Structure 1
Amino acid sequence: DGIHTLTCALMLLNTDLHGHNIGKKMSCQQFIANLDGLNDGKDFAKDLLKTLYNSIKNEKLEWAIDEDELRKSLSELVDDKFGASAKKVTRIVDSSNPFLDIPQALNAVTYKHGVLTRKTHADMDGKRTPRGRRGWKKFYAVLKGTVLYLQKDEYKPDKDLSEVDLKNAIRVHHALATKASDYSKKSNVLKLKTADWRVFLFQAPSKEEMLSWILRINLVAAIFSAPAFPAAICSMKKFCRPLLPSSMTKLCQEEQLRSHENKMKQIADELAEHKLHPVEKSLKSKEAEEYRLKEHYLIFEKSRYETYINLLCMKIKVGTDDLERIETSFFKVEADDIALRKTHSSPSLSQGHMSISCKAEKDILEQNT
C-alpha cells in the first residue's frame, strides 16, 4: 500500500510541477507533509522524498503513450456543417491518464469571448490574496474548451497563445460561476470559484453579458467535468477535499447527469449527517475550524451540483447543442420566474437554495478581504 501511495503521489507531483496548471507549484515541504504517516502507518524517509522531489522537478516524467495517439484522443472534432462561427458544445472522448494535466487541444471549441475585467480575490485553497495583487485588470477573455484564457490583445482565432496568456489562464473544470451579489463596489460582477478553490471576480460590460458568462462557464463545467476521485488518504482529524481531475469525462450526457445527481444526493446526505454533530460556534479550536471548513465545502458542492443538474436538464429539454438557443431558452424561463430573477448566483438555482450557499460564500469573502 505504501508503494502504491507513493507512486500516485509522484504522478500528481509530476502533473503539479510540469503541467499547464494555474497557481502556485507544490513545494518540497508540502510534498513531504502530504505523505505523513502514509507508509503503512509510518513516515517515508525524508531524504528519499527530497531526492524524488528534486529529481522530478529537474526532469519531467514521460508517460508511456504515443504522442500522436494522445493528440488525436484530445482533439475536439467540430462537424464542418456547423461552420467555424457556430458555438456548439462538442464532447471530447479522452482516454489519457486521469492524473495528467491535459494541454489544451489546439482545435478546442470557443464557447464565448469578450472583454472582462478581473480581480483575484483568493489564491489556492481559498487563501487570502495579498492586497498588492488584488487590483482590477482588463482582459479579452476567451472560453475555449475547459479553459478561460485571459489575453491582453483582442481575440483572433488563428493567433497562437503567448506565454503570458497561458499564465493568466483559468481552468473551469468543476468550477462554479455565480453572480457576486455581495460585492457592491462595481456592477455586473460575477464570481468564479475554481476546483482548487481560487476565487476571481469578473466585471462584464452589461448584465446580459454577465449572465451569459455565468451560464456558459457553468454549462461547460457541467458537461465536461469528470467524476471526482475519492478524497486523499490522510489523518481523519483533518478534512480533505476529493481530488478533481482536469481530464474530460468519458460519460455520455445522460450518464453525466446521473453522475451529478448521485453526487448531489451523497453530498446532501453527508451535509445532513454533518449538521447532526455541531460544534460550539464560539470555539476557536482546530476541531471547530475543521468542522466549519467541511460544512462550507459541503454547502458549496451542493450548490455546484444543483447548478450542473439544472443546466444539463435544461440542455436536454431544449434538445440542441447550440449555445445561443440554450441561452435564449434559459433566460426566457428565467424571465417568467420572479424567484429566479432574484437569485444570488447562477440563474439556474432556486432562491431558497441560494440563500444558504450565498451566505457561506459571503462569510468566505469577508474572511479574505
Structure 2
Amino acid sequence: MNIKRPGPSEDGVIEGSLIRKHEWESTTKKASNRSWSAVYTVLKGGSLLFYKDQKNFKTQPDAYFRGENPVDLSSGNVEVASDYTKKKNVFRLKLSSGGEYLFQARDDEEMNLWVRGIQEVSLEAAGAGPSRAQTLPASSMEKKDEPKKRGFFTLKKK
C-alpha cells in the first residue's frame, strides 16, 4: 500500500496517518479512552479532523473517527513532546479547553512538518495577523510640561 507523505496539498490542507492518544478531556478530566489509535488526520481551516482512513476522508468527509467533532486549534499550543520517552517522534497538542493529545509521526521530518503546520494554523485562528504594539498619539506626549495631577489617594499632608 502506498501511503502519501503528509504535506500541503493544493488547497493548503495537510493530511496523513498519525498515531493518536487522547490524554485529557479538560484540565480536570482525563480522557475515557487513553489508548493509542491510528487515525487519518487532516489539518484544514483552523481545525484538526480525524478519520478512520484516507478513503473515509475522501468519500465521507463529514463521517469523523468515532463520531468525534473536529478539534478547534485557536488558542492551541503544539510542541515536540521531548518529555515523553515511551515512543519516538511524538508531539503534544494542548487546547485552550484543557484537552490534550499526543501524536506519533513516522519520523522526525514528518513530526516537524505537523508541528509547524499546526503552529501556523493556530496562530492564524487565534487572531488575524500578527499583533502590533500601540503607541500613544503625539498630542498626549506634549503634555510633559504640565504639572502632574494627583489622585485622591496620592495627596500628601502639608
Q: For residues 78 and 45 of structure 2, what CA distance do their matches in structure 1 show? A: 16
Which amino acid in structure 2 is aligned with residue 203 of structure 1? Answer: Q
Structure number with higher relative contact order (C-alpha < 8 Å, ≥ 6 residues apart): 2
- Choose which of 52, 65, 70 in structure 2 pairs with 1:152: 52
Question: Alignment RMSD, CA only?
Answer: 2.4
Amino acid at match of 2:30: R
Number of residue equivalences: 126
1:323-362 aligned at under 5 Å gives the runs none
Tell me the distance in 2 between the aligned counterparts of 1:174 and 1:223: 10
| 1:168-247 correspondence runs (5 A) | 169-226=70-127
User: Counterpart of 1:186 in 2: which secondary structure?
Assistant: coil
Residue 143 of structure 1 aligns to a residue whose secondary structure is strand
Q: Larger % of helix: which? A: 1
Structure 2 unaligned regions, length at least 5: 1-8, 135-158
| Cα distance in structure 1, aligned partners of 2:28 and 2:112 | 24
Percent identity of the aligned residues? Answer: 30
Task: State yes or no: 1:119 paired with 2:21.
Answer: yes
Q: Cα gap change, 1:171/1:86 in structure 2, threshold over 3 Å: closer, same or farther?
A: same
Greater C-alpha Rg? 2
With the length of structure 2 as denominator, give the TM-score of the two structures: 0.70
Per-residue CA deviations over 1:175-196 (Å, capped at 9, x if unaligned) read 1110001100000000000120
Query: How far apart in 2 are the matches of 1:152 and 1:185?
Result: 24
Question: Could you give the per-residue CA deviations for residues 223-270 of structure 1, whole angstroms, max 9, x where no partner exists?
Answer: 1224xxxxxxxxxxxxxxxxxxxxxxxx4x3xxx125x78xxxxxxxx
Q: Residues 221 and 214 (structure 1 numbering): CA distance in 2 closer, same or farther, change over 3 Å?
A: same
Tell me the distance in 2 between the aligned counterparts of 1:168 and 1:224: 17
Shift of 1:146: 1.2
* Structure 1 residue 170, shift from structure 2 partner: 1.4
* Paired position in structure 1 for 2:4: none
How many angstroms apart in 1 are the aligned matches of 2:72 and 2:23? 16
SS in 2 for 1:124: coil
Q: Does 1:134 align with 2:34?
A: yes
Distance 1:146 1:166 in 2: 19
Q: Aligned AA for 2:50? A: L
* Secondary structure of 2:54's aligned partner: coil
CA contact (8 A) 1:175 1:195 kept: yes
- Could you say what secondary structure the match of 1:125 adopts? coil
Q: Which residue of 1 aligns with 2:131?
A: 258
Which letter maps to 1:127? K
* 3-state SS in 2 of match to 1:224: helix
Say whether the 8 Å CA contact 1:149–1:166 is kept in structure 2.
no
The structure carrying a bigger strand percent of its residues is 2
Q: Could you tell me which amino acid in structure 1 is paired with residue 26 of structure 2?
A: M
d(CA) in 1 for partners of 2:16, 2:64: 20
CA offset at residue 169 of structure 1? Answer: 2.6
Unpaired runs of 5+ in structure 1?
1-84, 89-109, 227-250, 263-369
Letter in 2 for 1:118: R
Q: What amino acid maps onto 2:131 in structure 1? A: R
CA 1:172–1:190: 2 relative to 1, 3 Å: same
- Please give the alpha-carbon distance, in whole angstroms, between the structure 2 residues aligned to 1:135 and 1:165: 14
* Contact 2:50/2:64, CA 8 A, preserved across alignment: no
Q: Contact 1:126–1:198 at 8 Å: present in 2 too? A: no
